[in-house]
Structure 1
């Protein structure tokens, strides 16, 4: 990018005198810019024609000329950035924005939010960390899970207006009387993001690839096979009824990519750019459902400093600002909610802790001021005694069983759990119990080697659009449970879940699952700690933003009013 190189040369000239006028020779300027005198004269002429500076040379070799600066390098960079963004040259904009984190945020602030770019509506969102690759299977981050649902489609889907799965790639499905055969009838006009028509064979191939993943094999353990029983019909054959099947297929983990091109999907937005600095989505012209009103959505990665002891992803951004409050003076809250997802405490039964001791630890957390006095930002968390609304912790008589002299607590991100762990450690010290803290640098338990030995665990459980199903999926697939419970206990739990999924009635199935979690809470194996308070703020003119259960909003429903002519 020649213009960027020219800007860098201009910065070298500027910084030599902090923008003050100077009397200088061409040879001295060439030395500052690491170029020949001939090229320096060309640069001076080009910069003068562009209006950046004025240069009055003197005839004769080695004579000193007068150099006056007319604009600052920062204003030039901002002007070039705006031009690159307005003409859709994101890569040039990225090159212009290669600055330190604080300078980058300052430079980007005026260009974040909603804009009409090249006569098309574009939404730019600042984000605090690089996004992880969108690989098949479970994704730990809320942003990645949300993106997967915007780029890819499943046979079914969840919508904000219902906890029951709705049609997506399949416009409807039917179930045999015995619950062992599920036929999903596909739309006949589906297209991949590259414009190719979708075939049932491609969807079958991708589904079979997903079922080879160990975690998803657990999720779809009841599935015997997937067959094409008509050019536009996929039939799932089960060896035992599973009335969660449509829910499982609506989860983001079951969204279907092209079998040969894993980043090409059929969702409302196609992935155009995915890098550590920029993620850009553009609307899919052949989307089979409601067409997005936004043409493009961009994530501009503006990294911040992190706590090195807590890894590089320790922040838990429950507040999304589309634009920066310091620069966008009219930024205003547009949506807020209490998350259904929760942070939790899990305790290992039997080995070193009796049930009375387990219950006492729960009471220490919930019946003292420990949760209410966490040194956290105001309006960030909401202490809770419920896993889901109505799924309450039991009330026990006061427990006074003496605690062991030593215990270990293992926890992962978000950073609020670090604060919680430190607070609990200090409290238990006053009771004569030494609590050793172990930190797993991750958003879930994947790859954690200490999970099988810790006495206590604290983690974060994200909840999707169907809360009860999300908790069933957690029990069935998360590595926490086989590491926390004994083998007979795990086997009994899985058998119970198999019995729950056989119930065709949604209400009865949810009540049966609630009984499973009531038992875990009554045995003090699992207890909720707190929910998050999700908030989204946006500048005026960005409409259609409503929080979903992951603290994000559906890009396909957001819109930007056309500018006044």
Structure 2
């Protein structure tokens, strides 16, 4: 008999004789379980071996025996789930959670809450979808990019706006900001304990530069030279005083040479970051501490993302949580500068002041009907709950319109044919390089803007990179947002924020504008 069936049998028995002590006969047990007395005896022995119950039979036919139900059926289930988890049988955990037709996602969450309370070396997080590729050049979703920051290293890293050393311990540029030298740590190992070579760094960056999506952001990198095993020089075609910050972004992660050449790696990626991938299944994604990390080791042994699609309906992009204790024993940490939700108007007719104002009013729930539009309209929206909600508002406002086509797209997917796009600008780490990434990777500017305005956009982007003062450079980029808003091309619907809710015992949370927190700084308070 499999464990799920044993649980179902024990729960049936518990309904008749639990909790605690009962005096009964073997025949009564057989009736309750719907089997023969002989089989009932076997079942009692099996459940007794699991310590779910105690059975003290009295000799003689018809004599009453002592039956003690030691624990609630759900606790017996948790015991088996813990055993399965320890044995690496993660699929069994999901099956056990659904014993006797229970709702798997809710029971799984209850178990993980319970297990988190008694485990100081694992932090468990509910998640609503399977983790996609963690190849730094192809991962565009926020969570995947956050995980990449932990699995891989970069030349630099962003620490709440401050650019700090990582693989490079120092860097310098010439007086024009055109030639940059990075001095590298020695002795860095990947998680499989193979040494990182300077050639890995060069190849990772060269492959990045030639990636179709990221090329516009990095195309000013003209040449990368190896000066020594511990130093490289990066030469640019135009000044960029913020190159060090740019190379701290997720897509600029350094990979082993053989991995950098692949579009999709069939195996778990190997990096040199603070965590390594232990399990990457459709049900569970587990990070384990990398004890060979060249930086400061993570405080926690492992981070687990438990995955069930039923958790998607309540998941907002702006919210996340760890498995929680009782509601009064939790706290919330927040970051208010994670990005923006925007409306991009590509069709000139829709940029008329009255029309664009009416659309924004709908998206901000100030009006219900769009009567100003009498022509066919198409729009796309990013695949997240917030943009889906904006799309719903727009569709409802155009309910009496006969020619409306809406399309859901992945982040970074740009559709030429649509009249309106509803999407997001992500602020990941450095706000300056995040805005540069948005402007450079949006490939349709040359179609949306006239040629003179497109050249103006490029000139302002180059000016921002050539401006040494960070605040002034960011001011140039924000002036672009103001210009596009005044021309009713790009309008911010609202600012995006993010909050994490966690039990009081989980310490070290500081929400970053990637939309998570630094996993390596988390720890569990044991008392």
- The verdict on a shared fold, with TM-score over 0.5 as the criterion, is yes
Give the TM-score of the pair, scaled to structure 1.
Answer: 0.77
Decide whether aligned partners of structure 1 residues 365 and 91 sit closer, same or farther in structure 2, where only a CA change above 3 A counts: same
Deviation at 1:7, TM superposition (A): 2.0
Confirm or deny that 1:363 pairs with 2:331: no
* 1:96 equivalent in structure 2: 93
Confirm or deny that 1:51 pairs with 2:51: yes
Confirm or deny that 1:408 pairs with 2:378: yes
SS at match of 2:524: coil
Q: Is the 8 A contact 2:432 2:473 kept in 1?
A: no
Structure-to-structure mapping, 1:25-64, within 5 angstroms: 44-53=44-53, 54=55
Deviation at 1:267, TM superposition (A): 1.4
Deviation at 1:10, TM superposition (A): 1.2
From 490, 503, 517, the counterpart of 1:539: 503
Separation (CA, whole Å) in 2 of partners of 1:497 and 1:407 = 31
Flag structure 2 segments of 5+ consecutive residues without an equivalent.
Answer: 18-24, 98-103, 260-264
Separation (CA, whole Å) in 1 of partners of 2:87 and 2:451 = 53
Structure-to-structure mapping, 1:73-222, within 5 angstroms: 73-82=73-82, 89=86, 91-92=88-89, 95-98=92-95, 99=97, 100-112=104-116, 115-116=119-120, 121-160=121-160, 163-222=161-220
Separation (CA, whole Å) in 1 of partners of 2:296 and 2:224 = 28
Q: Is the 8 A contact 1:146 1:552 kept in 2?
A: yes
Q: Is the 8 A contact 2:338 2:498 kept in 1?
A: no
Deviation at 1:551, TM superposition (A): 2.5
SS at match of 1:556: helix
* 1:379 equivalent in structure 2: none
Q: CA RMSD in A?
A: 3.7
SS at match of 1:91: coil
Separation (CA, whole Å) in 1 of partners of 2:396 and 2:27 = 65
SS at match of 2:506: coil
* 1:550 equivalent in structure 2: 514
From 285, 300, 307, the counterpart of 1:279: 285
Deviation at 1:184, TM superposition (A): 0.7
Deviation at 1:480, TM superposition (A): 5.1
Flag structure 1 segments of 5+ consecutive residues without an equivalent.
Answer: 308-313, 376-400
Confirm or deny that 1:436 pairs with 2:432: no
Decide whether aligned partners of structure 1 residues 441 and 41 sit closer, same or farther in structure 2, where only a CA change above 3 A counts: farther
SS at match of 1:304: helix
What's the CA shift string for 1:430-462, capped at 9, x where partnerless? xx96672413143x142x6xx212211111222
Decide whether aligned partners of structure 1 residues 362 and 77 sit closer, same or farther in structure 2, where only a CA change above 3 A counts: same
More helix by share: 2
Decide whether aligned partners of structure 1 residues 402 and 82 sit closer, same or farther in structure 2, where only a CA change above 3 A counts: closer
Out of 167-176 and 259-268, give the one that drifted further. 259-268
Deviation at 1:185, TM superposition (A): 0.4
Separation (CA, whole Å) in 2 of partners of 1:421 and 1:548 = 28
Deviation at 1:482, TM superposition (A): 5.2
Separation (CA, whole Å) in 1 of partners of 2:347 and 2:144 = 34
Separation (CA, whole Å) in 2 of partners of 1:361 and 1:521 = 14
Structure-to-structure mapping, 1:97-496, within 5 angstroms: 97-98=94-95, 99=97, 100-112=104-116, 115-116=119-120, 121-160=121-160, 163-261=161-259, 263-304=269-310, 315-324=315-324, 327-350=325-348, 352-353=349-350, 355=351, 357=352, 359-365=353-359, 368=361, 371=364, 403-427=373-397, 436-442=404-410, 444-446=411-413, 451-479=415-443, 481=445, 484-485=448-449, 490=454, 493-496=457-460
SS at match of 2:194: coil
Decide whether aligned partners of structure 1 residues 546 and 168 sit closer, same or farther in structure 2, where only a CA change above 3 A counts: same
Confirm or deny that 1:521 pairs with 2:485: yes
Deviation at 1:243, TM superposition (A): 2.8
Separation (CA, whole Å) in 2 of partners of 1:268 and 1:95 = 29
Q: Is the 8 A contact 1:335 1:546 kept in 2?
A: yes
What's the CA shift string for 1:136-186, capped at 9, x where partnerless? 3253322211111111110111102xx243221001111123333211100
Give the TM-score of the pair, scaled to structure 2.
Answer: 0.82
What's the CA shift string for 1:44-66, capped at 9, x where partnerless? 53433333343859999xx9999
* 1:8 equivalent in structure 2: 4
Report the number of matched residues: 501
SS at match of 1:464: coil
